[in-house]
């Protein structure tokens, strides 16, 4: 090739945005075009007659050398990717095509700069990973299913471990979701319908997650050719949705309870006030008429109504404090709670001739000691208060499993008709209008038990058959972590 031809060839190659270079058998650069200098920032003096491998990023050199070692004259083109180090120290990605023409000892190479493409792909991949969004494509004609890397990750697998096909992919959905995705795929193929579904999936590692599966159909001449779409992990959102729904339901329940509470309180507080007002009027009349014997009756009735009002306000205040005023939790034995309760009720025990006993082995419970004492005081006191003709006997026992402890407080008292088993824990509920007390005690008991994550219920056959109150509390480990809510 004469000088004029060489000059024209150089001018031609310099027009290209791709790298062009010629190497000898030692892989030294004999010729590079203008794009080589512009993309990498080197001068001609620092490039020609130097080894191309010296410009390859260190981590890629072994792969680059292996690619060159497979070349032979007239043996076709070798393609691979590698990074070159630019003059400012940054890496640029290139896709190479290299061959040795028949009868030549020189290597002819061209390389396309794919740095931006790689960067964009990396950003998209990172974005998909952060957003937990994968892509997929299924061909209805060839039955080939393609997953992106993030889709593999969402299924807890890799392309090396799992080869997806449509049947295996459907089998990974939770049983309740399989018919839904199967029908969506049928409608996509037969009717060209897209889908946007929220389904449950079981990954290759057995994790159960929620996914949003979106599919769009590509049709040609009325025939569905393929469907492609996205696959997003929405487990966290579904959990938040469920928590929000639970919160709204609990809030609505609390609002209903507050409405009933307000109505009941206003009604029950009004009763002693009506009494006071009524007897105040009678007192005024009796004083005017100098009926002094009646005055004492009026004053006693007013005092009694004030005592009732005071008791109501006291118990309402106590009810409002449950869960709001929190004492430090501590470990205590059931037997110890019963003994302390018995000491506090000695007056009532002597008055009624009651016996209190603890049956069998008793377990340890963790909670607010003062509040739990209230529970036992209320239940044992009620057993003596609502006694039958027999001397009261109260027996406390418990059974325990790995999740909870169930405490039974059994008595031989009046018993409770089945119709009232649920009502007695409501505010101001009393079985008889003549009963002493405010009708708030068992409402406090229920709230304390529920504040400890437990539940309470009563069993009784009926009148004079005694009652059994059951309290089920979750066990906690020694780190005070609840193991179950029963």
Q: What is the DSSP string of 439-455?
A: S-HHHHHHHHHHHTT-E
Q: What angle do CA 2, 44, 48 make, to 5 degrees?
A: 70
The CA-atom distances, in angstroms, between 84 and each of 75, 117, 147, 478, 484 are: 25, 15, 30, 60, 59
Provide the pLDDT for residue 438. Answer: 58
Residue 486 covered by a domain? no
Beta strands in 33-167 (DSSP E): 78-85, 91-99, 107-113, 133-139, 145-147
348 and 467 share one domain: yes
440 and 362 share one domain: yes
Residue 479 covered by a domain? no
Provide the pLDDT for residue 119. Answer: 76
Provide the pLDDT for residue 411. Answer: 92
Instruction: Give the C-alpha separation, 302 to 328, whole Å.
Output: 41
Domain finish residue from 113, 130, 156 = 113
Provide the pLDDT for residue 423. Answer: 77
* 3-class DSSP assignment, residue 372: helix
Question: Please, what are the averages of pLDDT over each run of 10 residues along the chain (486 residues)?
Answer: 60 88 91 92 89 92 88 86 91 92 89 84 65 86 91 92 92 94 94 94 93 92 91 91 90 76 64 79 86 84 80 68 66 89 85 88 82 87 86 91 90 84 69 57 85 90 86 72 42
DSSP structure string for 13-58 = HHT-SSEEEEE-TT-BEEEE-HHHHHHH---GGGTTTSBGGGGB-G
Question: What's 136's domain CATH number?
Answer: 3.30.450.20
218 and 255 share one domain: no
Provide the pLDDT for residue 486. Answer: 34
106 and 124 share one domain: no
Provide the pLDDT for residue 280. Answer: 86
Name the domain count of the chain.
4
460 and 349 share one domain: yes
335 and 448 share one domain: yes
Provide the pLDDT for residue 193. Answer: 94
Question: What's 397's domain CATH number?
Answer: 3.30.565.10
User: Which domain does 274 fall in, by range?
Assistant: 241-321
Residue 262 covered by a domain? yes
71 and 127 share one domain: no
369 and 451 share one domain: yes
Q: Which candidate, 407, 356, 422, places its Cα nearest to that of 383?
A: 356
Residue 89 covered by a domain? yes
Domain finish residue from 96, 113, 130 = 113
Residue 483 covered by a domain? no
Residue 297 covered by a domain? yes
Domain finish residue from 233, 253, 283 = 233
139 and 99 share one domain: no
Provide the pLDDT for residue 166. Answer: 92
Residue 482 covered by a domain? no
Checking DSSP bridges between strand 404-411 and strand 467-474, what pairing results, if any?
antiparallel
185 and 253 share one domain: no
23 and 107 share one domain: yes
Longest dimension (CA), the chain: 146
Say if residue 417 is exposed, middle or buried (CB neighbours under 10 Å; 0-12, 13-18, 19+).
Answer: middle
345 and 398 share one domain: yes
Residue 263 covered by a domain? yes
Provide the pLDDT for residue 309. Answer: 76
């Amino acid at each position: 090739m004469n000088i004029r031809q060489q000059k024209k060839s150089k001018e031609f190659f310099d027009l290209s945005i791709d790298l062009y270079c010629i190497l000898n058998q030692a892989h030294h650069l004999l010729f590079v075009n203008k794009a080589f200098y512009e993309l990498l920032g080197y001068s001609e003096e620092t490039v020609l007659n130097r080894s191309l491998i010296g410009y390859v990023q260190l981590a890629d050199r072994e792969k680059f050398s292996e690619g060159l070692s497979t070349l032979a004259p007239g043996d076709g083109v070798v393609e691979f990717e590698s990074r070159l180090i630019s003059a400012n120290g940054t890496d640029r990605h290139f896709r190479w095509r290299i061959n040795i023409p028949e009868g030549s000892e020189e290597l002819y190479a061209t390389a396309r700069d794919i740095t931006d493409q790689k960067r964009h792909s990396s950003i998209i991949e990172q974005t998909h990973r952060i957003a937990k969004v994968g892509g997929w494509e299924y061909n209805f004609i060839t039955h080939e299913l393609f997953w992106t890397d993030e889709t593999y990750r969402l299924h807890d697998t890799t392309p090396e471990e799992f080869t997806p096909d449509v049947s295996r992919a459907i089998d990974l959905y939770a049983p309740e979701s399989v018919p839904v995705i199967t029908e969506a795929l049928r409608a996509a193929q037969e009717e060209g319908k897209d889908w946007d579904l929220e389904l449950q999936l079981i990954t290759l590692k057995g994790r159960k997650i929620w996914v949003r599966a979106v599919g769009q159909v590509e049709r040609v001449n009325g025939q569905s050719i393929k469907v492609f779409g996205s696959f997003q992990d929405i487990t966290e959102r579904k959990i938040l949705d469920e928590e929000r729904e639970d919160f709204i339901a609990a809030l609505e329940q609390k609002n209903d309870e507050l409405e009933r509470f307000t109505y009941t309180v206003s009604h029950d507080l009004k009763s002693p006030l009506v009494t006071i007002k009524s007897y105040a009027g009678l007192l005024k009349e009796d004083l005017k008429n100098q009926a002094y014997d009646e005055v004492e009756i009026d004053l006693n009735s007013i005092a009694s109504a004030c005592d009732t009002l005071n008791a109501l306000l006291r118990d309402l205040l106590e009810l409002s404090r449950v869960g709001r005023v929190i004492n430090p939790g501590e470990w205590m034995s059931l037997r110890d709670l019963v003994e302390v309760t018995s000491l506090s009720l000695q007056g009532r025990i002597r008055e009624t001739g009651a016996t209190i006993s603890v049956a069998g082995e008793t377990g340890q419970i963790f909670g607010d000691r003062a509040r739990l004492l209230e529970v036992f005081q209320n239940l044992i006191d009620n057993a003596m208060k609502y006694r039958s003709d027999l001397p009261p006997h109260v027996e406390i026992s418990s059974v325990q499993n790995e999740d909870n402890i169930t405490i039974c407080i059994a008595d031989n008292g009046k018993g409770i008709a089945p119709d009232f088993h649920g009502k007695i824990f409501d505010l101001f509920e009393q079985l008889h209008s003549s009963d002493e007390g405010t009708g708030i005690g068992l409402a406090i008991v229920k709230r304390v038990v529920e504040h400890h994550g437990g539940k309470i219920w009563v069993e009784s056959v009926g009148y004079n058959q005694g009652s059994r109150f059951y309290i089920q509390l979750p066990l906690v480990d020694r780190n005070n972590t609840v193991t179950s809510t029963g």
